Amino acid sequence: MKKIFVFFIFLLFSLSAHAKVKSKDISFPKHFYVEQIETCPYFLGSDKFSSEIIKDRIKSLLNLDWMSEWAKGNSRSVNHENLSKPMKSFSIATHNAVGEKNKESINEAKQIIVELAKKDFLFNTIGKKELKNKPNCWANGDGNAPCWYHAYEFARDGFANLMIIAIYLKEDLNKEEFTILNKYIKKMYKKFVQPDAFYDENKGFYAMGNGGTPNLIFAHWSNDKKLSAKEFNFRFYQIEKLFYEDGYINNNSFRGYRGLWYHSYGLYSALGYIYLAKLWGVKVPDNVMNKVKKASEILNLGITNYEKFSSREYDGEQNNNKYKKKDARMHTHQDALAIDTLMEMVVGVTLEDDPRYLELRKERGMDDLVGFNANCIK
164 shares a domain with 119? yes
- Give a yes or no: residue 4 inside a domain: no
Domain ends where: 196, 212, 239? Answer: 196
Per-residue pLDDT, 358: 94
Exposed, middle or buried by CB within 10 Å (0-12, 13-18, 19+), for 358?
Answer: middle
d(CA 349, CA 346): 8
How do residues 266-279 score in pLDDT, each as one tens digit? 999 999 999 999 99
101 shares a domain with 248? no
131 shares a domain with 178? yes
370 shares a domain with 278? yes
How do residues 68-100 score in pLDDT, each as one tens digit? 777 667 777 777 778 988 999 999 999 999 999
% residues pLDDT > 90 (the chain): 69
Q: Is 371 helix (H, G, I), strand (E, B) or coil?
A: coil
- Give a yes or no: residue 170 inside a domain: yes
Instruction: Say what the alpha-carbon torsion angle 198, 202, 205, 208 is, to the nearest 10 degrees.
Output: -20
Residues 6+ apart with CB under 8 A from 227: 215, 218, 219
- Give a yes or no: residue 41 inside a domain: no
205 shares a domain with 189? no
- List the one residue out of 170, 158, 154 whose CA is nearest residue 32: 170
Dihedral sign computed on CA atoms, order 222, 223, 224, 229: positive
Per-residue pLDDT, 15: 46
- List the one residue out of 218, 262, 344 whose CA is nearest residue 76: 262
Domain ends where: 145, 169, 196? Answer: 196
Mean pLDDT of the chain: 90
Q: Give the DSSP H or E segment for 206.
A: none
- Give a yes or no: residue 3 inside a domain: no
d(CA 131, CA 286): 35
134 shares a domain with 179? yes
- List the one residue out of 28, 33, 26 whose CA is nearest residue 282: 26
d(CA 374, CA 366): 9
350 shares a domain with 241? yes
191 shares a domain with 74? yes
How many angstroms separate the first and last alpha carbons of the chain?
48
pLDDT at residue 7 is higher than 70? no
pTM for this predicted structure: 0.90
Domain span holding position 290: 16-30+200-313+320-378
CB of 240 closer than 8 Å to CB of 17: yes
273 shares a domain with 215? yes
Domain ends where: 171, 196, 221? Answer: 196
Per-residue pLDDT, 127: 86
How do residues 123-159 score in pLDDT, each as one tens digit? 998 888 888 888 888 887 787 888 888 888 888 889 9
How do residues 354-369 score in pLDDT, each as one tens digit? 999 999 998 788 888 8
177 shares a domain with 87? yes
Q: Give the DSSP H or E segment for 46.
A: none
- Give a yes or no: residue 149 inside a domain: yes
- Give a yes or no: residue 154 inside a domain: yes
187 shares a domain with 227? no
- Give a yes or no: residue 307 inside a domain: yes
- Give a yes or no: residue 354 inside a domain: yes
d(CA 200, CA 187): 23
CB of 149 closer than 8 Å to CB of 360: no
216 shares a domain with 102? no
Per-residue pLDDT, 2: 46
How do residues 13-31 score in pLDDT, each as one tens digit? 544 445 699 999 999 999 9
User: How many separate domains does the chain show?
Assistant: 2
% residues pLDDT > 70 (the chain): 94
How do residues 192-219 score in pLDDT, each as one tens digit? 999 888 989 999 999 899 999 999 999 9
